[in-house]
Amino acid sequence: MSGETMESSAWFACYPRDLTGNTDHLCNHDFGAYVRALCWYYTNGPLPDNEDSLRNMMRVEKTEWARTRGNVMEFFQLNGDGKWHQKRADEVIAQRDELIARKRAQTAAARAANPKNTVTTSVTDTVTDYVTATQSQSQSQVQSKVQVQRESRRFAPPSLDETKLEGAKIGLPDSECEKFMAYYESNGWKVGRNPMKSWRAAMIHWKSNWIERNAKPNAKTGRSGHAKPDYSKPF
């Protein structure tokens, strides 16, 4: 394909790791609709703000449109021009079109310098140049995303209000939530010798032990009572 006839919609960049990672929550049907939307975007530009056009573009039945629309359109933002934009797609399209324009200029210059030879620019060459030009940028984006994911997985101790709110959900009294906070704050939020990973899971375990303690009969009265918590056991 010559540089004069090659259209900017002939290809678009796809980063599989980012695509699958960002859409992991989508079912196969909605994922297919999103890919169709991207193909349309890279070929025609921002998506129209028209429900029928969007649904037909993504090949979605009317009965499934409400769910699919909510899942797919979260990747786009409606701008003042009345169209749905995606920042990353716009950046990639701008880079792609700039590269193609540069290739066309190089082809025209080569033909002018040597009109007897036929100079062509293949789509493969253009894609290779594009990948090379954006490789470092892509790697940087991936590393940044991995760092954010790692930081998001780091354990953050809850506040007393958070533990009481969670206690209300699982049926644990405020007094036990306060004991829970006091115990784990004193031991550095560890389960046994290991750092705690989920305080909500620890609260569920605390509740189980609390119920078990209350169910034990009192040695003197024979009635169930509030036995002294055994903090030597890991929760």
What three-state secondary structure class fits 85? strand
Task: Using DSSP bridges, classify how beta strands 83-85 and 77-78 pair: parallel, antiparallel or unpaired.
Answer: antiparallel
- Of 70-74, 75-79, 153-157, 198-202, the range with the lowest mean pLDDT is 153-157
Is residue 5 pLDDT above 60, yes or no? no
pTM, two decimals, is 0.45
Distance CA 165, CA 174 (A): 9
Q: What is the mean pLDDT of residues 36-42?
A: 89
What three-state secondary structure class fits 92? helix
In this structure, the chain runs to a length of 235
Distance CA 100, CA 60 (A): 33
Summarize pLDDT for 47-106 with one digit per residue, the tens: 999 999 999 999 999 899 999 998 999 999 998 898 999 988 888 888 888 888 888 888
Is residue 171 pLDDT above 80, yes or no? yes
Cα-to-chain-centroid distance, residue 70? 15
Are the beta carbons of 14 and 49 closer than 8 angstroms? no
